């Protein structure tokens, strides 16, 4: 939202204003995470109530089972744009309903669905109450997916449309960003629960219970299947993306069940890699340095002229190092202060307080590890071989030190166990000056850490990290990343900048993976990072290290920032979606209605479309190739024709394609290419058409080809949008 404001993109955000939010973390003497929920005082926060024409707080009402729930709307200014937050804590609601917006990630499934109805349906109602008419809706995560249903309902009612008409129009102008591949992060509800919450709502939608449930199921025919929020969002959005290139791939695979006959690389989920807001995360001192050597307009230039970042080379080594050292000292002072508070709260002895003043050494190689303690992030990987780590920590000439921070989800016992292991480790091996844990990780702690550490360590189990963003925050401040081959790092890594732990291999035996990857970290530290950090020039500068810092800053900052990210969303999703919305809704919804009619026609005729008489003819063979075993040679030219029975549809409604590529050992074509075939003439029988194309065999090896038919219409975003595809059996060549 900060970048949308910077770039002048007209958007508003919608969320919930939690009375208590997420918990505050502290650890008991044993290192076990304790959670306290403190109440937010909205009147001390930069939020204000949205008022109606008469100056009274504006409220909306949302249907819940057998009751209405009221919500008020708060607004937050984010630069020049608004974030609206809904709050159900109103006296007109029952005690239970007042608590719908009490906690983030709190309660059970009932709370969850209650919150998601508030966000999705309430969110859209709030916009309407404020006379804001969205052209495009972007659902970030499946949590917001009910919004798409409310859009259909409103459109249907306002414009007297059928469900199908409103559905197609809504989908054309919705965008969805899929997030974590971790199962617990993808909400799903039992069918009975959807039925309970949506019985009344169905009247407004004009579909029945089973039709609604089908929208949230991978297999619409399976009545046992749960209702999945990401599935609802996928089915109701034309523009879908993951948050890094690798995550795009993982998501296409993960959701390929929704497109059963479509090759995985064609599953219509693209990727837009995350970024961070530079001005939020860059230290003031480092910002001044950039102003001086890149020119004061460097933030704007970072988008238009990524080359301008070459000027980072002109920053004198000693200035960059001095600036970094100052940030490191700020971090250490902050850590000592926090540690002292932590000790005082635990009520331990005075000698301990002195200890807090002395932890960490501003001259030692400092590693930061801060993130949620979700198990896949492996917060304890570095502790796997204690002797090896302790040797590095206690090396008198070349010590390392590690600062940890992060919360485990209140119900994630395994995650809490990892935190406890870190505390126990520090005590057991008497390395409490060199391993510290800062409690209550939040943006403030994150800011100190990403600005002050030398190495940012990130070791999730590939490919579970959708993107990861903290490494970007650290990189733009000059920290070197050491990360497994996962998420954004597959794009952010460049040689002689940071380090890769492993090569993204997947393992059956997870414990073996932890062994291999932890050893890789020790090796990288021992053989690369530590010598590089402690090799100093005559003026005590680690020149080679500083060189890596510059490479990192130059490579990461211009790419992994939110201005680039928001521009990419605008280009790839928002702008095309706005155009489609305008086309479909123009002239009393003419094209929206035509699209629905066309869709219904092509669906009802699809099973009668047939591919017949595929004929492959070689019309030119290269000479000097006489191996009788090989049927087709590289350089051979082919003419492929097929008769297609189009049943009740026309050549304009479909594209007939020749799909070709390598054949795997199961006889399937892998990552093939499609060539569109042209409609030549009518064939002999009515409704049959002759299609033809020429192609040249330009790859060696076992190749296959198959004719396929897909729907075609300029008002669908993607040929796979309707989920219709017809294949001829592949033939080998
Ligand atoms: C950046 C940030 C995160 C996300 O970091 P990841 O690298 O994606 O795990 C989480 N919490 C806070 C407070 C942050 O600042």
Q: What is the pLDDT of residue 631?
A: 67
Ligand 1 nearest atom to the CA of residue 468, by list position: 8
Q: Could you tell me if residue 704 is inside a domain?
A: yes
CATH number at residue 191: 3.40.50.2000
Probe residue for ligand 1, chosen from 404, 440, 469, 479 as the CB with the greatest number of ligand atoms within 8 Å? 469
Q: Could you tell me if residue 323 is inside a domain?
A: yes
Q: Could you tell me if residue 300 is inside a domain?
A: no
Ligand 1 nearest atom to the CA of residue 442, by list position: 13
Whose Cα sits closest to atom 9 in ligand 1?
371
Whose Cα sits closest to atom 2 in ligand 1?
470
Tell me, yes or no, whether 509 and 413 share the same domain: yes
> CB burial class (10 A; 0-12, 13-18, 19+) of residue 80?
exposed
Q: Could you tell me if residue 25 is inside a domain?
A: yes
pTM across the whole model: 0.95
pLDDT, tens digit, for every residue of 14-47?
999 999 999 999 999 999 999 999 999 999 999 9
Q: What is the pLDDT of residue 627?
A: 58
Give the domain-ending residue among 573, 602, 631: 602
Q: What is the pLDDT of residue 700?
A: 81
Give the CA dihedral 175, 179, 185, 187, nearest 10 degrees. 20
Give the domain-ending residue among 550, 583, 602: 602
Probe residue for ligand 1, chosen from 22, 180, 273, 372 as the CB with the greatest number of ligand atoms within 8 Å? 372
465-488 b/e with 16+ CB inside 10 Å = b?
bbbbbbbbbbbbbbbbbbbbbbbb
Q: What is the pLDDT of residue 434?
A: 97
Tell me, yes or no, whether 99 and 182 share the same domain: no
The rounded distance, in Å, linking the Cα atoms of 30 and 32 is 6
Distance 234 CA to ligand 1 centre (A): 26
Tell me, yes or no, whether 14 and 90 share the same domain: yes
- Specify the 3-state DSSP secondary structure of 684: coil
The rounded distance, in Å, linking the Cα atoms of 140 and 92 is 30
Q: Could you tell me if residue 129 is inside a domain?
A: no
Tell me, yes or no, whether 542 and 665 share the same domain: no
pLDDT above 90: residue 629? no
Mean pLDDT value of segment 290-318: 87
Q: Which domain holds residue 613?
A: 609-732
Tell me, yes or no, whether 529 and 566 share the same domain: no
Q: Could you tell me if residue 679 is inside a domain?
A: yes
How big is the chain, counted in residues? 733
Distance 469 CA to ligand 1 centre (A): 6
Residues 6+ apart with CB under 8 A from 627: none
Residues 6+ apart with CB under 8 A from 259: 266, 267, 268, 720, 723, 725
The rounded distance, in Å, linking the Cα atoms of 91 and 67 is 15
Question: What secondary structure does DSSP assign to 371-401, as a single string?
Answer: S---GGG-TTGGGSSHHHHHHHHT-SSS-EE
Q: How many domains does the chain have?
A: 4
Using 50, 70 and 90 to split pLDDT, how confident is the model at 619? Answer: confident
Probe residue for ligand 1, chosen from 280, 444, 446, 487 as the CB with the greatest number of ligand atoms within 8 Å? 446
pLDDT, tens digit, for every residue of 427-453?
999 999 999 999 999 999 999 999 999
Mean pLDDT value of segment 619-647: 78
Mean pLDDT value of segment 711-721: 95
Distance 99 CA to ligand 1 centre (A): 27
CB 84 within 8 A of CB 109: no
Q: Which two tokens stand for residue 547?
A: 């060189």
Probe residue for ligand 1, chosen from 373, 378, 468, 470 as the CB with the greatest number of ligand atoms within 8 Å? 470
State the helix-helix crossing angle for 350-358 and 317-346, rounded to 10 degrees. Answer: 170
pLDDT, tens digit, for every residue of 340-389?
999 988 877 777 788 888 999 999 999 999 999 999 999 999 999 999 99
| Alpha carbon distances (Å) from 358 to 314, 337, 484 | 36, 11, 32
The rounded distance, in Å, linking the Cα atoms of 78 and 522 is 43
Q: Which two tokens stand for residue 226?
A: 């749960």
Ligand 1 nearest atom to the CA of residue 473, by list position: 1
Q: What is the pLDDT of residue 628?
A: 52
Tell me, yes or no, whether 553 and 566 share the same domain: no
Q: Could you tell me the strand order of the sheet in which 270-271 lies?
A: 137-140, 174-177, 239-242, 270-271
Whose Cα sits closest to atom 10 in ligand 1?
371
Tell me, yes or no, whether 461 and 581 share the same domain: no
Whose Cα sits closest to atom 6 in ligand 1?
468
Q: Which two tokens stand for residue 377?
A: 């992030």
Mean pLDDT value of segment 523-550: 98
Whose Cα sits closest to atom 1 in ligand 1?
470
pLDDT above 60: residue 630? no
Using 50, 70 and 90 to split pLDDT, how confident is the model at 733? Answer: very low
pLDDT above 90: residue 626? no
Tell me, yes or no, whether 578 and 459 share the same domain: no
Q: What is the pLDDT of residue 180?
A: 87
User: Which residues does a 6 A CB cutoff place in the pocket of ligand 1?
Assistant: 371, 441-443, 446, 468-470, 473
Tell me, yes or no, whether 489 and 579 share the same domain: no
Q: What is the pLDDT of residue 731?
A: 58
Tell me, yes or no, whether 362 and 498 share the same domain: yes
Q: What is the 3-state secondary structure of 589-622?
A: HHHHHHHHHHHHHHHHHHHHCEEEEEEEEEEECC
CB 546 within 8 A of CB 317: yes
pLDDT, tens digit, for every residue of 391-428?
999 999 999 999 999 999 999 999 999 999 999 999 99
Mean pLDDT value of segment 225-229: 97
Ligand 1 nearest atom to the CA of residue 458, by list position: 7
Q: Which two tokens stand for residue 95?
A: 């005690």
552-572 b/e with 16+ CB inside 10 Å = b?
bbbbbbbbbbbbbbbbbbbeb
Tell me, yes or no, whether 311 and 402 share the same domain: yes
pLDDT, tens digit, for every residue of 80-113?
999 999 999 999 999 999 999 999 988 899 999 9
Tell me, yes or no, whether 282 and 391 share the same domain: yes
pLDDT above 90: residue 730? no
């Amino acid at each position: 939202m900060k970048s949308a404001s910077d770039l002048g993109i007209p958007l508003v955000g919608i969320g919930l204003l939690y009375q208590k939010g997420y918990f505050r973390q502290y650890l008991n003497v044993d290192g076990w995470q304790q959670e306290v929920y403190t109440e937010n005082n909205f009147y001390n926060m930069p939020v204000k109530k949205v008022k109606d024409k008469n100056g009274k707080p504006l409220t909306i009402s949302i249907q819940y089972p057998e009751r209405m729930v009221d919500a008020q709307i708060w607004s937050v200014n984010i630069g020049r744009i608004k974030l609206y937050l809904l709050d159900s804590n109103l006296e007109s609601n029952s005690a239970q309903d007042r608590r719908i917006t009490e906690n983030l990630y709190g309660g059970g499934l009932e709370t969850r669905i209650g919150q998601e109805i508030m966000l999705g349906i309430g969110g859209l109602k709030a916009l309407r109450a404020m006379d804001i008419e969205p052209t495009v809706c972007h659902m970030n995560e499946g949590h917001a997916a009910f919004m798409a249903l409310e859009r259909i309902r409103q459109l249907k009612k306002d414009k007297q449309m059928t469900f199908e008409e409103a559905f197609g129009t809504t989908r054309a102008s919705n965008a969805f960003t899929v997030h974590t591949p971790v199962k617990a992060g993808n909400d799903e509800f039992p069918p009975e629960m959807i039925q309970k919450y949506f019985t009344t709502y169905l009247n407004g939608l004009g579909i029945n219970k089973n039709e609604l449930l089908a929208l949230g199921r991978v297999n619409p025919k399976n009545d046992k299947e749960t209702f999945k929020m990401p599935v609802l969002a996928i089915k109701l959005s034309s523009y879908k993306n993951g948050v890094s290139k690798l995550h795009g791939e993982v998501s296409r695979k993960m959701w390929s069940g929704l497109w059963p006959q479509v090759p995985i690389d064609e599953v219509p989920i693209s990727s837009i890699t995350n970024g961070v807001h530079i001005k939020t995360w860059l230290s003031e001192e480092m910002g001044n340095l950039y102003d001086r050597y890149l020119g004061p307009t460097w933030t704007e230039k970072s988008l238009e002229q990524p080359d301008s970042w070459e000027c980072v080379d002109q920053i004198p080594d000693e200035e960059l190092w001095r600036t970094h050292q100052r940030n490191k000292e700020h971090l250490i002072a902050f850590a000592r202060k926090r540690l002292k508070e932590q000790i005082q709260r635990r009520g331990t002895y005075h000698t301990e307080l002195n200890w807090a003043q002395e932890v960490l050494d501003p001259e030692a190689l400092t590693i930061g590890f801060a993130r949620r303690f979700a198990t896949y992030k492996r917060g304890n990987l570095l502790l796997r071989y204690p002797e090896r780590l302790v040797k590095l920590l206690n090396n008198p000439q070349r010590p390392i030190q590690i600062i940890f921070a992060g919360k485990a989800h209140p119900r994630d016992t395994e995650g809490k166990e990892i935190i406890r292991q870190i505390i126990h480790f520090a005590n057991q091996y008497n390395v409490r000056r060199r391993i510290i844990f800062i409690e209550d990780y939040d943006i403030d702690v994150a800011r100190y850490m990403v600005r002050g550490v030398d190495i940012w360590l990130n070791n999730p189990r590939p490919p579970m990290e959708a993107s990861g963003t903290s490494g970007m925050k650290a990189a733009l401040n000059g920290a070197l990343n050491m990360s497994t081959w996962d998420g954004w790092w597959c794009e952010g890594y460049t040689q002689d900048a940071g380090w890769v732990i492993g090569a993204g291999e997947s393992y059956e035996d997870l414990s073996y993976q932890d062994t291999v990857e932890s050893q890789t970290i020790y090796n990288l530290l021992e053989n690369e990072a530590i010598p590089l950090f402690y090799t100093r020039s005559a003026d005590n500068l680690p020149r080679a290290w500083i060189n890596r810092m510059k490479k990192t800053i130059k490579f990461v900052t211009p790419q992994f920032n939110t201005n680039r990210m928001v521009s990419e969303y605008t280009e790839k999703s928002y702008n095309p979606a706005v155009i489609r919305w305008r086309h479909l809704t123009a002239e009393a919804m003419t094209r929206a209605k035509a699209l629905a009619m066309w869709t219904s026609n092509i669906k009802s005729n699809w099973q009668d479309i047939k591919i017949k008489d595929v004929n492959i003819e070689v019309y030119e063979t290269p000479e000097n190739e006489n191996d009788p075993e090989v049927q087709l040679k590289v350089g051979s030219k082919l003419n492929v024709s097929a008769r297609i029975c189009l049943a009740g549809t026309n050549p304009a409604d479909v594209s007939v394609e020749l799909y070709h590529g390598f054949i795997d050992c199961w006889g399937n074509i892998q990552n093939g290419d499609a060539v569109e075939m042209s409609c030549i003439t009518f064939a002999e029988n009515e409704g049959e058409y002759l299609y033809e194309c020429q192609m040249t065999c330009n790859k060696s090896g076992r190749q296959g080809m198959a004719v396929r038919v897909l729907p075609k219409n300029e008002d669908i975003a993607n040929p796979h949008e309707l989920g219709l595809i017809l294949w001829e059996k592949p033939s080998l060549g």
